[in-house]
Amino acid sequence: MQPINEFSGIVCPLNRPNIDTDQIIPKQFLKRIERQGFGQFVFYHWRFDDDGNKREDFVMNKTQYKNAEVLVAGENFGCGSSREHAPWALLDYGFRVIIASSYADIFYNNSVKNGILAVKLTEEEVATIMERSKEEGYSIHVNLEEQSVKDDKGFTANFDIDPYWKKMLLNGWDEISVTLTDEDHIRKYEEKMYGKQYS
Amino acid sequence: MTKKTVIEKIWENHVVNREEGKPDLLYIDLHLVHEVTSPQAFEGLRMNGRRVRRPDLTYATMDHNVPTINRHIINDPVSKTQIQTLEQNCREFGIELADIDHPDQGIVHVIGPQLGLTQPGKTIVCGDSHTSTHGAFGALSFGIGTSEVEHVLATQTLWQQRPKTLQIKVNGKLGFGVTAKDIILAIIAKFGVNAGTGYVMEYTGEAIRNLSMEERMTICNMSIEAGARAGLVSPDETTVEFLRGRRYAPQGEEFEEAAARWLALATDEGAEYDKTLEIDAAEIEPQVTWGTNPSMGSGISGSVPSPDQFNREADKESVRLALEYMGLEAGTKLSDIPVDFVFIGSCTNSRISDLRAAAEVAKGRKVKDHVTAIVVPGSQTVKQQAEAEGLDKVFIEAGFQWRESGCSMCLAMNDDIVPPGKRCASTSNRNFEGRQGNGARTHLVSPSMAAAAAVTGQFTDVRELSSVNQ
């Protein structure tokens, strides 16, 4: 995955709680066997009507959010299905940072593993960003090392992130390679529990 | 000795490595694989020249895409590719596969328990959020994404943050005509879709102890709809008896030894949880959801609420959007809502006891003319057993369609789709927008409530139907 530390981008507000992964990427698009190319289908039924025409009133379709790279959304973002196609689609569409007050556990893990920075702020802080992002060109600056979010109008907030995931994101490490450096522990466990070596 | 929950006991047994500032590295005892969330993981292995570390702990089937009629004719070429890809991957990496022709084929969360692969004390994962189902056996089982699928294939381990523990205590006895599905829907309606986020849940209390294994599976299955990746029931004699004689369970003397180990995993008397929520079984009625997430529901005697009844602005707005999507007016009695489709199936409610419950309601009645009703058994084994009991005939005579096993209309990845604007009484687990088809309107119910909706053409309190009431 791509490492991430400092990131600035235009913010697109999606003011709904409990946005589930069926909305982020509907099931008819889960049949591909690649990781790429899902961005065109992100929020498909919110972005397009039944005939495939753009819904002009949907926030992501408005010109001012065309180049948005930060998505701010309501609480419990990414609930439901474990489909990693959801972060693949968000990333492929161009979102590198998500801001919400809470995330579903599986979605959060899936995001981290794809180099998406899912920032947890308080409900009040999310509401502030949501409100300010109505203004054209509103962007925020995220710094993972500092664990901070700032805008150009004096908004500043800090967020918590597990130190392990932080390190993975900052370095863009391949997790399997990291784990395999721990293979001795795995071997010992297998010998103890299964009485056998598997590698 | 410290008193521990079943969750803590299983966790401790699986820690491969623990270091300051890192999650625990946990060993995985069983990895279930299906066609939708695995192709990119196998591709990742190939790209890096990696192998599957424990093919002997990995088991695959195809369920999400498979047709439930003419199952060998997969019209969608992309679905077909996905199924063929799983066949190739299992061959290449030496993984046992119950393919479309296999007598063990079925929904992954139905066949694991049925084959005895699912056992107390195991850590079980699958690239599917309803992996929580296996928690019914006192196994720590949870859904993972495709990157984690690849990680487990390559290392048989996962990095996991130690979860907080949440006890959901269901006190007292269930009323007549109220099922396990109603318990879990009532729990989610009461505590919300993120009550369990960051927790592993354990279901306790008299009402849970009295449930069969299949009923416990229905409850644990929907733990994820309350936000918890995993939900467990402590193993007891019911668990042991269910597993006795199953193909992949230990046999003979080994079984007795295993059973003793399993029973010892149960939560110690007096063990503490990070949080406890309680609900009284006697207050639970047969449930029907009216909205677009599983917490938007109530007992059948209730009505569709108004957005104004909610306090927070965000809730008012999501209820308003839900009613708009569902085509419902606030104040409408749930028992006045007509249905167009009925789906009996899914990893929540497609086991033999679910089909028996639905058949009992369907017997001697007719599906209303305007209703399309389908029954999709959870596995080929369930299908055969139902046919041996004559349930297929009961359903067919009543006007239901009797199908082959798979995930089917729960998520409509195959051809079983609810058309736009149509309303479906469904025994599945998610009523999200578009889940059963673009524009489809899903109401979650138990199998007997679904059958009652099919034969009356609208949501009906199953307790009021005469033959059930005798």
Q: Which residues of A touch B193 (CB under 8 A)?
A: 18, 76, 79
Number of A to B CB contacts under 8 A, please give it: 171
Domain B6-276 belongs in CATH node 3.40.50.2000: no
Q: Which residues of A touch B17 (CB under 8 A)?
A: 182, 185
Consult the annotation and say whether B126 binds a ligand: no
Provide the strand spans (E) within B83-176. 96-98, 123-126, 140-143, 157-160, 164-171
Which residue among A34, A102, A164 sits closest to B40, beta carbon to beta carbon?
Answer: A34
Please state the domain extents for chain A.
Answer: 6-172
**Does this chain's domain B6-276 share its CATH topology with B287-464?**
yes
| Rounded average pLDDT over A91-109 | 97
**How far is B231 from A155, CA to CA, in rounded Å?**
40
Hey, which residues does A77 pair with through a beta bridge?
A103
Look at phi and psi of residue A6 and say left if phi exceeds 0, alpha if psi is from -120 to 50, else beta: beta
The amino acid present at B127, given as its one-letter code, is G
At residue A199, the pLDDT reads 76
At residue B21, the pLDDT reads 87
A178 pLDDT band (50/70/90 cuts)?
Answer: very high
Q: Which residues of B touch A116 (CB under 8 A)?
A: none
CATH architecture of A6-172: Alpha-Beta Barrel (3.20)
Q: Min CA distance, A162 vs chain B (Å)?
A: 8
pLDDT tens profile B152-189: 999 999 999 999 999 999 999 999 999 999 999 999 99
Q: Please name the residue of chain B whose CA is at the shortest distance from the CA of residue A123.
A: B314
Please state the domain extents for chain B.
Answer: 6-276, 287-464
| Rounded average pLDDT over B244-261 | 98
Which residue among A27, A76, A106 sits closest to B411, beta carbon to beta carbon?
Answer: A27
The mean-pLDDT minimum among B78-82, B198-202, B218-222, B295-299 falls in: B78-82
Inter-residue contact B249 to B119 (CB < 8 Å): yes
Consult the annotation and say whether B424 binds a ligand: no
Provide the ipTM. Answer: 0.96
CATH of B287-464, picked from 3.10.105.10, 2.60.120.620, 3.30.499.10, 1.10.10.60, is 3.30.499.10
Q: Rounded mean pLDDT of chain B?
A: 97
Which residue among A50, A76, A114 sits closest to B227, beta carbon to beta carbon?
Answer: A76
Q: Please name the residue of chain A whose CA is at the shortest distance from the CA of residue B148.
A: A110
Distances (CA, A) of A105 to A59, A101, A167, B198, B264: 26, 13, 19, 6, 29
Q: Is B49 on the interface with A (CB under 8 A)?
A: no
CB contact under 8 A, A164 and B159: yes
Short-list B435, B417, B414, B437, CA closest to B80: B414
Hey, which residues does B167 pair with through a beta bridge?
B202, B276
Q: What is the pTM of this model?
A: 0.97
Q: Is B442 on the interface with A (CB under 8 A)?
A: no
CB contact under 8 A, A185 and B16: yes
